Amino acid sequence: MNDNTFNANIPVIVGEAVAGETAKVRKQLEKVINNVNTSNFDIAELAFKVKQSGDYAGHTTFADYYATLNIKKRKIQYLTKMAETMDAVGIKREEYEPLGIAKLREITSLNVNDKWTDPDTNKELPIKDFITGFIKQGSEMDLDTIKSHVKVLKGLTGENDIEVMHFAFTKSAIDNIINPAIEKAKMVLGSVAKDNEGISQDASSSRCIEVMATEFLTTEFDAG
């Protein structure tokens, strides 16, 4: 066997190895998702492993990949973000797992690369440091306290505080009026941001309703 023949076979061997590992992780992830007794932390670690590798088994994006799994979109998103954030701040599972999913979901909703400006000193402080602090002190803090601190760090205070409103509609109104109107508003508003995979994100339903309400307030209508 000459050197050229040997080198030509290397990509094939490496490719097979990568494909094998991808299939292995996929099976592990499917297994833990479908096992009712599995830990959400196991799902988080495996999902993050897939995202970190960038190998989505033939799918273009991680979102396309997890859409084929038997798990709700929002759940795998926050579990992956949790493991991803903990990896970014260098905190191991045995350190953060005792806090539980609810507290960690709230903590890791923060962007590890952001900074918070102290209104008293005007000094910028890394969000990464706050996340680390939450993990270290989280066992001594209840969920509501953590939520309160996170809202401050996100700037969701005062007039920017988030309030929830509840409305009831008939199924017919939801299917034929509300949802179509929201989808139309999303098309008009276009992309408002990009996720960490660079995929464009539509405006939220809440933002669409706000825009529609603003339009009604600023447009003159004939009361008759």
CA 2 – CA 209 distance, rounded (Å): 69
3-state secondary structure at position 200: strand
On the question of pLDDT at 38 being above 80, the answer is: no
E-strand stretches of the chain: 115-117, 124-126, 191-194, 200-202
pLDDT in tens, 131-189: 999 999 999 999 999 999 999 999 887 777 677 788 899 999 999 999 999 999 888 88
pLDDT for residue 25 is more than 80: yes
> Taking a C-beta distance cutoff of 8 angstroms, is the pair 79, 106 a contact?
no
Which of 162-166, 211-215, 219-223 is least confident?
219-223
Q: Look up the pTM and report it.
A: 0.69
Task: Tell me the DSSP string of 157-196.
Answer: -GGG----------HHHIIIIIHHHHHHHHHHH-EEEE-T
What residue segments make up the domains of the chain, in order of their start? 1-87, 89-162, 171-218
**pLDDT tens per residue, range 39-96:** 899 999 999 999 998 888 788 888 899 999 989 989 999 999 999 999 999 999 999 9
In this structure, are strands 191-194 and 124-126 parallel, antiparallel, or unpaired? unpaired
Q: Contact, 106 vs 150, CB < 8 A?
A: yes
Dist. CA 45–CA 105, nearest whole Å: 14
pLDDT band at 17 (very low <50, low <70, confident <90, very high): low
Residue type, 22: T
Task: For residue range 62-72, list pLDDT tens digits in order.
Answer: 889 999 998 99
What would the two tokens of residue 13 be? 């061997």
Residue 19 Cα distances to 16, 23, 46, 114, angstroms: 5, 6, 16, 35
Q: How many whole angstroms separate alpha carbon 84 and alpha carbon 102?
A: 16
Q: Which residue has the higher pLDDT, 29 or 96?
A: 96
Closest listed residue to residue 43, CA positions, set 67, 94, 77, 85: 77
In terms of pLDDT, which residue wins out, 218 or 161?
A: 218
